[in-house]
Chain A
């Protein structure tokens, strides 16, 4: 259950940053991109997958959340 920070980069892509590991990846696929629910399963550019408990709407980024490794 790593703590990660989600933010948008200059190109508008969603960036996934694992704080403890200092590791940054771009989210290539997000299960629920809103409107309505936002979150769910996310696929990163290095191929790994994480699960974020879906939020009710798209949050204000950057945001630190806890995600589950799949």
Chain B
């Protein structure tokens, strides 16, 4: 049973009543009932605004966006978490960005490097320590292709000049040293961190080999951007493109490397999966190197087939025929998956609350399994993300921007979905409420979910979660209906 627009609006009003008047007024702007005919979102929903004091937001910080999302997965750079030790340790390897190589030799994505700020460093500045550290890293890890300095809050507060250190150290060690000004207090969410990281890639890395033309390009070179290889996502996407006859010359940034990024300029087409976190660099690649970008979606067979055709349309008829062949080869396998899981999942109602892209991208995969999305929302999306969401969601579906934990719980209590897809902060709350839950940031320790291979895992995981017998065992036996007989027997 889905709600119409009036019912959804009424639900929003009822949930907002708890707030003081001013807070309620502000929050009302972030909640709406979907209208798929809308083209622009800026008249009907407010996004990318600071969370209100006193409410519990699920957002992260700029450092999380820059180090955790964009720079973290690049395998051959050493990311220094410059500042106190915690930020680096708690953002280490939690997102499961898979890489190939030998950790500590030529791959550093799962290691934590930090300058471990103490009081002394806050008082006297940490620039000397940083310079020493970069020199040490160069000695200990000679195969690292670069070093980045990911600033934590204190760096901005005490005004350390990490740019000067970076410039000098880069000369000393002969490798790019990238200062990333992603102090946690900047911006309203991790979204600004994505932007800062994209800009630092643009300013310090991308152009370093522009005068080197030794790379032999082909007319079928493409780059994958905005795929972080969570549980192997980029690999299951890449095989489809390669099967089509395209050559993937760069992965941004899951399992990616600095040399790949510097050869991206030879690509003929830039395939953009996560629009929210990498549209900035994509726009730059288009302006500077004339590489057009194309947004695609590799979740669920319907969207994959549509995306493969869209990508193939950029190339000649060989690629287009290959694309059809790839789709035809995989279709029977996909049909078998749907035949197996659809009867078990048909009609189940789902609520999503994830970062800045996935709610709209996974809708197709859920619909392939016969499931229905009754509510969707983003933690840190901007208005252009909502523009792209309206068309994907059904009429009257609930949309929530930067939902507070109170709002999300109230909506769930009222809508009673069969599955919630959100992050780790929400997971155990909803488990305790007895509602099946998938952690959709890092695929709940599963994955990949991208591509045809990923869909098989996606369908299995959703079935495994929703139809798990544990959800029927949450009530104590003596509280169940017919418990009297149990009592008298005892």
Contacts and interface: CB of A to CB of B under 8 A. Distances in A.
Interface string B273-303: 0000000000100110000000000000000
B40 A64 contact: no
A58 to B, nearest CB: 16
A63 B286 CA distance: 9
A17 B275 CA distance: 15
Interface string B301-335: 00000000000000000000000000000000000
17 contacts: A5-B283, A5-B287, A7-B286, A7-B287, A17-B283, A22-B48, A22-B195, A22-B384, A23-B383, A23-B384, A45-B40, A46-B40, A46-B42, A62-B283, A62-B286, A62-B287, A64-B287
Nearest to A6: B287
Contacts of B384: 22-24
A63 B283 CA distance: 10
Interface in B382-441: 382-384
Nearest to B191: A22
Nearest to A60: B290
B287 A63 contact: yes
A47 to B, nearest CB: 10
Interface in A36-70: 45-46, 62-64
Interface residues of B, number: 10
A43 B287 CA distance: 23
Given A7-B283, A64-B287, A22 B40 contact: no
Contacts of B40: 45-46
Interface string A1-31: 0000101000000000100001110000000
A7 B287 CA distance: 9
Interface of B: 40, 42, 48, 195, 283, 286-287, 382-384
Nearest to A24: B384
Interface of A: 5, 7, 17, 22-24, 45-46, 62-64
A36 B48 CA distance: 40
Contacts of A63: 287
Contacts of B48: 22
B382 A22 contact: yes
Contacts of A5: 283, 287
Contacts of A46: 40, 42
A46 B44 CA distance: 13
B286 to A, nearest CB: 5
Contacts of A64: 287
Q: Quick one: which of B195, B287, B383 has the most chain A CB within 10 A?
A: B287
Contacts of A24: 384
A60 to B, nearest CB: 8
A31 to B, nearest CB: 23
Nearest to A20: B195
Q: Quick one: which of A22, A24, A45 has the most chain B CB within 10 A?
A: A22
A57 B40 CA distance: 31
Contacts of B287: 5, 7, 62-64
Nearest to B195: A22
A19 to B, nearest CB: 8
Nearest to B382: A22
Given A7-B287, A23-B382, 7 more contacts: A7-B286, A22-B48, A22-B384, A24-B384, A45-B40, A46-B42, A62-B286
A5 B202 CA distance: 16
Nearest to A7: B286
Nearest to A62: B287
Contacts of B195: 22
A66 to B, nearest CB: 15
Nearest to B42: A46
Nearest to B385: A22
B40 to A, nearest CB: 7
Contacts of A45: 40
A23 B41 CA distance: 11
Contacts of A7: 283, 286-287
A69 to B, nearest CB: 17
A43 to B, nearest CB: 15
